[in-house]
């Protein structure tokens, strides 16, 4: 039997908002978490981003509180300003019919305005750690005693260095409370934090034990030469034609360079990194969310907590440094039940590192070859033919045709118009990028043998070292006996 939101026993005004929001069936994390939150349990929930975590803690929490108290009942702590705004917006949408007011607290905005909004009777506060701790230290809140506290994207807070701030924040919180911790991954520091701030928590996991990546994400990799990265990313963007994509880079300098390069070849692209002013960042994110730009080129830190539901592709311009970064990056796509594609570019020297990351996160990546120029152009021709076939007739089309027919026959007109369209849609660049199957297999085989030989040499050196050490110890014992 299919479970429904009605079966949980949520408040009727919350249920009305759920229906208005178009939610049909609870997601796996919602099915597990909502009953536990309603019972008052502390929980540790592990689920990928984009699986409905905000509703998983928001719906039951807002069903439990009394909005007429005119005091903060729910505190949600998020790693970034962008995520705080998104979570606050979603909680407002789900709680507004019950009269629940939400306030967002983050750095870079007026202290007095944020404090005033809270004191006017906010039931829910969504805050970033730095600004929240600052306000608590300086005793800027009156009677701030939330009964439910949520840590959202806890592993991202760890990555951004906020764990000490989180512990300090909890020193200001009431001892009698319900605490909910949500995280995509569970590194050891997060487990230790959970042990300190939660009481006898129930554990929720909708992630298979050996798989921390979303099954709705197709994961591909392409092996290329280092010098081919720019050509490869442009070719793959041309071939995949993403509705909206993030390209992850390692450095701010690389973000600036690549975003300019993509713009130069005709893509609506912008960069996002930590050196940008806050208003610049907000402007770029707003443009990306509203589809004014299609490609966001970003560093890991800049894209932390970015919650945009219609990202079709994520590209790793360089291979991420560690498994957690890989999980976070690709988690920007395949959200809310939609399919997504994650593409990683790597050189033969990086191949084994990528395999180790894949093994660590318990996933498999499919190897693909970068499409040739002729492949992409053929694909573009088919799409162009389909677009022409389905195009709506413009009112001025007949008049233009009459003008053209004065000097040309219909066949010439058709061919010239098609040529014009093809010139505008043509793809440039080298015909072949990366390695053919035979060359790649040969290179990988040589690299594997090289790694094996290195391992044998290390083993040999260690064996000799142990043998010499054993001889020295034996000699020393004999000497002691003689003495």
pLDDT in tens, 104-133: 999 888 899 999 999 998 999 999 999 999
Same domain? 192 vs 234: no
Give the pair of three-digit tokens for residue 375: 């492949």
The answer to whether residue 111 is domain-embedded is yes
Same domain? 361 vs 224: yes
Same domain? 407 vs 344: no
The alpha helices in 96-185, defined as continuous H runs, are: 111-119, 129-137, 154-159, 163-171
Cα separation, 223 vs 434, in Å, equals: 6
- Cβ contacts of 107-111, under 8 Å, gap ≥ 24: 107/81, 107/131, 108/81, 108/278, 111/135, 111/140
Residues 272-281 have a mean pLDDT of 85
- Per mean pLDDT, which range of 26-40, 66-80, 360-374 is the poorest? 360-374
Residues 62-89 have a mean pLDDT of 91
Sign of the Cα torsion 78, 82, 86, 91 reads: positive
Percent of the chain with pLDDT over 90: 47
The answer to whether residue 29 is domain-embedded is yes
Same domain? 77 vs 127: yes
Residues 317-322 have a mean pLDDT of 84
Residues 314-332 have a mean pLDDT of 85
Q: Which of 205, 237, 253 represents a domain boundary (last residue)?
A: 205
Same domain? 40 vs 152: yes
Q: Report the SS3 class of residue 367.
A: strand
Q: Which residue has the tokens 């413009």?
A: 394
Q: Which of 371, 397, 426 represents a domain boundary (last residue)?
A: 371
Q: How confident is the model at residue 146 (pLDDT cuts 50, 70, 90)?
A: very high
Cα separation, 372 vs 124, in Å, equals: 53
The answer to whether residue 446 is domain-embedded is no
Same domain? 232 vs 290: yes
Question: Is residue 42 within 8 Å of residue 202, measured between CB atoms?
Answer: yes
Q: How confident is the model at residue 478 (pLDDT cuts 50, 70, 90)?
A: very low
The answer to whether residue 339 is domain-embedded is yes
Q: In which element (H, E) is residue 258 found?
A: helix 252-264
Kindly state the DSSP code that residue 405 receives in the 8-state scheme.
Answer: T
For the chain, state the CA radius of gyration.
28
Q: Give the Cα-Cα-Cα angle 459, 464, 469 (nearest 5 degrees).
A: 125
Give the pair of three-digit tokens for residue 85: 């705004």
The answer to whether residue 464 is domain-embedded is no
The answer to whether residue 401 is domain-embedded is yes
**What pLDDT digit, counting tens, does each position of 165-223 carry?**
999 999 999 999 999 999 888 889 999 999 999 999 999 988 655 445 667 899 999 99
Q: Report the SS3 class of residue 127.
A: strand
**What pLDDT digit, counting tens, does each position of 413-460 carry?**
888 888 887 776 667 778 889 887 788 888 778 877 776 665 555 445
- Label residue 420 exposed, middle or buried (CB < 10 Å: 0-12, 13-18, 19+): exposed
Task: Give the residue among 72, 370, 113 at the shortest CA–CA distance from 235.
Answer: 370
Cα separation, 351 vs 226, in Å, equals: 13
Same domain? 144 vs 258: no
Give residue 483's pLDDT: 42
Same domain? 111 vs 11: yes
Show the domain range for 414.
386-418
Query: How far apart, in Å, do the first and last CA atoms of the chain sit?
Result: 84
Q: Which of 152, 185, 205 represents a domain boundary (last residue)?
A: 205
Question: Is residue 89 within 8 Å of residue 212, measured between CB atoms?
Answer: no
The answer to whether residue 437 is domain-embedded is no
Question: Is residue 314 within 8 Å of residue 329, measured between CB atoms?
Answer: yes
Same domain? 357 vs 411: no
Cα separation, 323 vs 365, in Å, equals: 13
Domain count for the chain, please give it: 3
Q: Give the Cα-Cα-Cα angle 253, 259, 265 (nearest 5 degrees).
A: 140
Question: Is residue 328 within 8 Å of residue 184, measured between CB atoms?
Answer: yes
Give residue 465's pLDDT: 53
Same domain? 197 vs 221: no
Same domain? 54 vs 183: yes
Give the pair of three-digit tokens for residue 287: 């443009």
Give residue 456's pLDDT: 56
Cα separation, 428 vs 389, in Å, equals: 25
Same domain? 156 vs 277: no
The answer to whether residue 234 is domain-embedded is yes
Reported pTM: 0.59
The whole-chain average pLDDT of the chain stands at 85
Other residues' Cβ atoms within 10 Å of the Cβ of residue 119? 17
Give residue 109's pLDDT: 84
Give residue 390's pLDDT: 83
Q: What is the CATH number of the domain that holds 85?
A: 3.40.50.300
């Amino acid at each position: 039997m299919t479970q429904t939101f009605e079966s949980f026993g949520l408040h009727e005004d919350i249920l009305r908002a759920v229906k208005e929001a178009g939610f049909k069936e609870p997601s796996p994390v919602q099915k597990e978490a909502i009953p536990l939150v309603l019972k008052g349990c502390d929980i540790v929930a592990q689920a990928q981003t984009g699986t409905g975590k905000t509703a998983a803690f928001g719906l039951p929490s807002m069903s439990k509180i009394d909005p007429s108290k005119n005091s903060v009942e729910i505190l949600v702590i998020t790693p970034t300003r962008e995520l705080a705004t998104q979570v606050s917006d979603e909680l407002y949408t789900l709680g507004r019919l019950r009269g629940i007011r939400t306030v967002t607290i983050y750095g870079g905005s007026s202290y007095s305005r944020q404090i005033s909004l809270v004191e006017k009777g906010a039931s829910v506060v969504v805050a970033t750690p730095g600004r929240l701790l600052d306000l608590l230290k300086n005793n800027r809140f009156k009677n701030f005693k939330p009964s439910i506290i949520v840590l959202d994207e806890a592993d991202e807070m760890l990555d951004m260095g906020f764990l000490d701030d989180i512990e300090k924040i909890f020193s200001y919180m009431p001892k009698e409370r319900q605490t909910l911790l949500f995280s995509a991954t569970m590194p050891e520091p997060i487990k230790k934090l959970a042990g300190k701030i939660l009481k006898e928590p129930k554990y929720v996991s909708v992630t298979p034990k050996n798989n921390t990546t979303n099954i709705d994400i197709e994961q591909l990799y392409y092996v290329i030469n280092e010098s081919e990265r720019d050509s490869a990313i442009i070719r793959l963007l041309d071939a995949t034609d993403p509705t909206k994509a993030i390209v992850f880079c390692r450095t701010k300098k690389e973000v600036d360079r690549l975003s300019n390069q993509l713009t130069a070849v005709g893509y609506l692209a912008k960069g996002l990194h930590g050196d940008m002013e806050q208003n610049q960042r907000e402007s770029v994110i707003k443009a990306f969310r509203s589809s004014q730009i299609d490609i966001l080129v970003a560093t890991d830190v800049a894209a932390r907590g970015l919650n945009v539901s219609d990202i079709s592709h994520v590209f790793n311009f360089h291979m991420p440094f560690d498994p957690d970064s890989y999980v976070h990056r690709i988690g920007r796509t395949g959200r809310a039940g939609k399919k997504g594609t994650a593409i990683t570019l790597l050189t033969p020297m990086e191949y084994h590192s990528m395999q180790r990351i894949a093994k660590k996160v318990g996933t498999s990546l499919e190897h693909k070859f970068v499409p040739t120029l002729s492949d992409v152009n053929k694909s573009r021709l088919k799409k162009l033919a389909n677009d022409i076939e389905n195009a709506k007739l413009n009112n001025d089309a007949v008049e233009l045709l009459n003008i053209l027919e004065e000097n040309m026959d219909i066949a010439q007109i058709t061919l010239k118009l098609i040529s014009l369209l093809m010139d505008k849609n043509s793809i440039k660049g080298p015909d072949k990028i990366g390695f053919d199957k035979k060359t790649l297999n040969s290179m990988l085989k040589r690299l594997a043998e090289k790694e094996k030989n290195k391992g044998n040499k290390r083993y040999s050196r260690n064996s000799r070292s142990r043998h010499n050490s054993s001889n020295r110890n034996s000699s020393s014992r004999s000497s002691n006996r003689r003495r």
